[in-house]
């Protein structure tokens, strides 16, 4: 089944990659799925020399900085995964991000808890998603975003769609688009560079 956006006008296609400023300004929390969004869906499985199960995942390093820039802009970032994986724990710890894993893909439970704690409403939440386990949450949030290679059911309801595939810069693309729509991107980049200049 070909997704409808591929047959509509160029103006509609462009809009699929644009976030309205009024929508962007109200977002206070962004939820990222992990497998298929921060990774390319692949997992590498094997055993250690001691025979213990081992799993590796590929994460895009540029995505990580995008997530950190969202937090620097005062936007909460939470990772919620429908798989339990040590590799996800390592990446979340490296980035210093709040993370939940649920082998039953019960993402709504964890997000509802975060929203209650932060005093947030659904229109203040965005999600970047790719697959069926994301739909329960994605249908509720105020800004629905999908990676380019998301499943048709996700693409059908997405307000924004990346050019990049999951695990290949889609999260960074979304972070940039959201921050640009808020008018915050350039200042954040300049601050990031200034903090790393010599003799300052």
Tell me the domain boundaries of the chain.
22-194
User: What integer pLDDT is reported at residue 2 of this predicted model?
Assistant: 41
Q: Stretch 106-120: mean pLDDT, rounded?
A: 96
Contacts of 9 (CB under 8 A, 6+ apart): none
Q: Stretch 143-164: mean pLDDT, rounded?
A: 97
CATH superfamily of 22-194: HAD superfamily/HAD-like (3.40.50.1000)
* Closest to 94 measured CA to CA, from 128, 131, 145, 57: 57
Report CA torsion sign: 136, 139, 145, 148: positive
pTM: 0.89
Write out pLDDT tens, residues 5-64. Answer: 444 344 444 557 889 999 999 999 999 999 999 999 999 999 999 999 889 999 999 999
**What is the SS3 assignment for 116?**
helix
Is residue 138 over pLDDT 90? yes
């Amino acid at each position: 089944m070909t997704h409808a956006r591929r047959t509509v006008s160029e103006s509609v296609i462009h809009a699929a990659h644009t976030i309205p400023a009024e929508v962007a300004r109200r977002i206070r929390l962004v939820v990222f799925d992990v497998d298929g969004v921060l990774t390319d869906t692949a997992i590498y499985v094997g055993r250690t020399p001691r025979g213990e199960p081992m799993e590796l995942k590929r994460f895009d390093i540029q995505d990580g900085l995008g997530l950190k820039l969202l937090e620097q802009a005062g936007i909460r970032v939470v990772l919620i995964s429908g798989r339990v994986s040590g590799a996800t724990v390592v990446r979340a710890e490296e980035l210093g991000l709040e993370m939940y894993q649920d082998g039953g893909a019960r993402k709504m439970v964890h997000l509802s808890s975060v929203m209650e704690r932060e005093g947030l409403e659904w229109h203040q939440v965005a999600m970047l998603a790719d697959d069926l386990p994301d739909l329960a949450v994605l249908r509720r949030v105020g800004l629905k975003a999908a990676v380019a290679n998301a499943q048709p059911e996700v693409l059908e309801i997405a307000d924004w769609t990346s050019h990049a595939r999951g695990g290949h810069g889609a999260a960074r693309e979304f972070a940039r688009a959201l921050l640009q729509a808020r008018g915050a991107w350039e200042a954040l980049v300049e601050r990031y560079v200034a903090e790393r200049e010599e003799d300052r």
